[in-house]
Structure 1
Amino acid sequence: MAHHPGLTAPTDPVPGVRLRGLHRAFGGRTVLDDIELDIAKGEFTALLGHSGSGKSTLLRAVGGLDGAAAGRGVVEVPEPSAVVFQDARLLPWSRVLDNVVLGLPGPRAAALARGRAALAEVGLAGKERAWPGTLSGGEAQRAALARALVRSPELLLLDEPFGALDALTRIQMHSLLRNLCARHQPAVLLVTHDVDEALLLADRVLVLADGRFSLDLPLGGPAGPGRRGSAEFTELRERLLRALGVPEEDRS
């Protein structure tokens, strides 16, 4: 269990993510106002909010990416953790397999074997020697997922990982991500602007507004495209769009 430097460590560690009194302010403006959040092992939580609402600030705080002096509060997360961004961030001068195992501890041969297994798991078997520049956008994000999964993360942080992909590729990536998370059971925090994406992937959806959660919405039934056909889907979508302040005439 990791306690990020510069923050107060709790005395009663619990599995999964635990945030208590998380506060961030920039230029005198409060972005996160004493946030409280728990994410259990195996729970998939999606975070929605307007641009500038603090979604990525929250994700960076959970990932320990915002520095020790950025604020106050308790941030307790399981280890290891991994982050997947909208940009796959593959090193162009390294082949795909070398990107996946970059920084992986242990003997080189064992790391390469784990990297090949991770690439096969995301559907990129045979692409180990490819250069990143030859991959499609969807393939690059699959490689980024493999790089995250090869570390067997207890916490997976996703910062709009499919935002730059076309609609068909997004559907394919949604299916892949659901299957991978069901198999590996990390705690997951997904930052997204897409209400439908949140509803189709998550067990729970949070809406961040004015530095606090304005809505904490648990979702019933298994995630996936079948949820779209449920009687509740339209109602859940309406609740989220209202919470985001989307005018009724724009809720198509």
Structure 2
Amino acid sequence: MTAPLHPYDPRGEALAPAVSLRGVSRSFGGRTVLADVSLDFAPGEFVALIGKSGSGKSTLLRALAGLDDGVVGEGTIDVPADRSVLFQDSRLLPWKSVLANVVFGLRTSDAEARGRRALANVGLAGREEAWPNALSGGEQQRVALARSLVREPVLLLADEPFGALDALTRIRMHELLFRLIRERQPTVLLVTHDVDEAIKLADRVLVMDEGRIIVDRPVDLAHPRGKDAGFDALRADLLAALGVADAI
């Protein structure tokens, strides 16, 4: 695997990575889940991580999020302090309003105004005082996205955030996430089982197998991305790396 190229500032100098992992390993019950992973993510880079169930994807994300205390591990991880996590389920507090969920834990004088802007950005203006159980699954996930972005994170970690949504809602969430990411430009790690989702959204796709990164591919396709020769060729390569025949 070749190391990714770093972007350059206008003076032609390489920018420092936003995320850096060196020799990261994690074990559970004597079983190695991450095996000597070393990676750099560039500032503003959108990275998708795909792999079979149990390959170590979520373990890597949780390590970057600092959510793996007590796990046996080695290596060094350098991540921004300002980071947010977007999970597969919205994890909204049912006893708090939509707005209260978005700004929960945000201790700034303009928290409410920022929360209202974040909800407007995800298409939920006017639903600030609604209760979470009054929203559809897609709307709840939009609230979760607003909650993640209202803090203006330098690093956004997304663990299969659209896995439970129907196909049409997933497409709409892809468009929304892509627009908001392009506007705010955080570094993003998206964990997904969906190869098409990875290709449509990411600047770079990683394939993980048995705790190791076995493929590291840039996605050199113009947006918006649809099925064409370049898309199909990359899709076939990634499916082959996953051990899946491209029969679709």
Q: TM-score, normalised by structure 2?
A: 0.91
Q: Take 1:164 and 1:76, find their aligned partners in 2: how far apart are those partners?
A: 31
Residue number in structure 1 paired with 2:12: none
Residue number in structure 1 paired with 2:8: none
Q: 1:246 aligns with which of 239, 244, 247?
A: 244
Residue number in structure 2 paired with 1:26: 28
Q: Which runs of 5+ in 1 are unaligned?
A: 1-12
Residue number in structure 1 paired with 2:158: 158
Aligned-pair RMSD on alpha carbons?
1.3
Residue number in structure 2 paired with 1:206: 206
Q: 2:226 aligns with which of 225, 228, 233?
A: 228
Q: Take 2:180 and 2:47, find their aligned partners in 1: how far apart are those partners?
A: 15
Q: Take 1:242 and 1:97, find their aligned partners in 2: how far apart are those partners?
A: 44
Q: TM-score, normalised by structure 1?
A: 0.90
* Correspondence 1:94-243 to 2 at 5 A: 94-107=96-109, 110-224=110-224, 227-243=225-241
What whole-Å deviation, never above 9, does each CA across 1:17-72 have from its counterpart, x for those lacking one? Answer: 11110001112211111101111111100000000101000000011110155311
- Structure 1 letter corresponding to 2:238: L
Q: How far apart are 1:15 and its partner, in Å? A: 4.1
- Structure 1 letter corresponding to 2:30: G
Q: Secondary structure at the match of 1:59?
A: helix
- Structure 2 letter corresponding to 1:111: A
Q: Secondary structure at the match of 1:183?
A: helix
Q: How far apart are 1:247 and its partner, in Å? A: 3.2
Q: Take 1:190 and 1:82, find their aligned partners in 2: how far apart are those partners?
A: 12
Q: How far apart are 1:231 and its partner, in Å? A: 2.1
- Structure 1 letter corresponding to 2:174: H
Q: How far apart are 1:223 and its partner, in Å? A: 4.0
Contact 1:202 / 1:223 at 8 angstroms: preserved in 2? Answer: no
Q: Take 1:69 and 1:176, find their aligned partners in 2: how far apart are those partners?
A: 35
What percent identity do the matched residue pairs reach? 62
What whole-Å deviation, never above 9, does each CA across 1:207-228 have from its counterpart, x for those lacking one? Answer: 000211111110013343xx22
- Could you say if the C-alpha distance between residues 69 and 86 of structure 1 is closer, same or farther in structure 2, counting changes exceeding 3 Å? closer
- Could you say if the C-alpha distance between residues 171 and 179 of structure 1 is closer, same or farther in structure 2, counting changes exceeding 3 Å? same
Aligned residues: 234
Contact 2:27 / 2:71 at 8 angstroms: preserved in 1? Answer: no
Q: Secondary structure at the match of 1:102?
A: coil
Contact 1:16 / 1:41 at 8 angstroms: preserved in 2? Answer: yes
Contact 2:221 / 2:231 at 8 angstroms: preserved in 1? Answer: no
Q: Take 1:26 and 1:223, find their aligned partners in 2: how far apart are those partners?
A: 40
Contact 1:104 / 1:151 at 8 angstroms: preserved in 2? Answer: yes
Given the alignment of the two structures, is residue 72 of structure 1 paired with residue 51 of structure 2, yes or no? no
